Amino acid sequence: MICCDLTQECRHELRVELRLTAPNGFLTVFPRSEKYLSDIDHMMALQYLASKKRYDRYRSIMDFVFCELFPHWKPYCFAFYREKEKRLKDIMKKDELVRYDRRILIALTKAYNWYCDKREQSWSGFMNEINP
């Protein structure tokens, strides 16, 4: 969960958290996107863009990204948390997961570019631009 400002301490905490949640490889079904977010600058770009979003409702940053980019999956995610649904890898075909991973990576790359350009943008504006 990202819950601090852009201080050096925050950068260290984010890096440590990523290592602790994925010590032996990737925990998500979106490995390319997770790897992209392992770079602290890419993670900070996501925090910058989604600063008003509630990360604490999700168990992982990848759950947050997936559900916020594809809101129709939110109810499923929360049902999974209550142990009422299966994991995504158990209900989606591999090619579907790869397509979602690619779409997430494209969105994260765009978020990073906006961050580098210091572009003022809300999450809803971002969503409108990536999903016209």
Reading the block at residue 19, the tokens are: 């290592």
Give yes or no for residue 3 having a pLDDT over 90: no
CB atoms within 10 A of CB 36: 18
The pLDDT of residue 128: 85
The pLDDT of residue 25: 42
Condensed to tens digits (0 to 9), the pLDDT of residues 55-102 reads: 888 988 999 999 999 999 999 999 999 998 888 888 999 999 999 999
Average pLDDT value for the chain:
80
pTM of the model: 0.76
- N-to-C CA span, the chain: 28
Reading the block at residue 109, the tokens are: 């790359």
Q: What is the DSSP letter of 27?
A: -
CB atoms within 10 A of CB 86: 12
Condensed to tens digits (0 to 9), the pLDDT of residues 46-67 reads: 988 888 888 888 988 999 999 9
Q: What is the DSSP letter of 71?
A: G
Contacts 24+ apart (CB under 8 A), 120-129: 121/49, 122/52, 123/49, 123/50, 123/52, 123/53, 123/68, 126/49, 127/69
- Domain ranges (residues) in the chain: 8-130
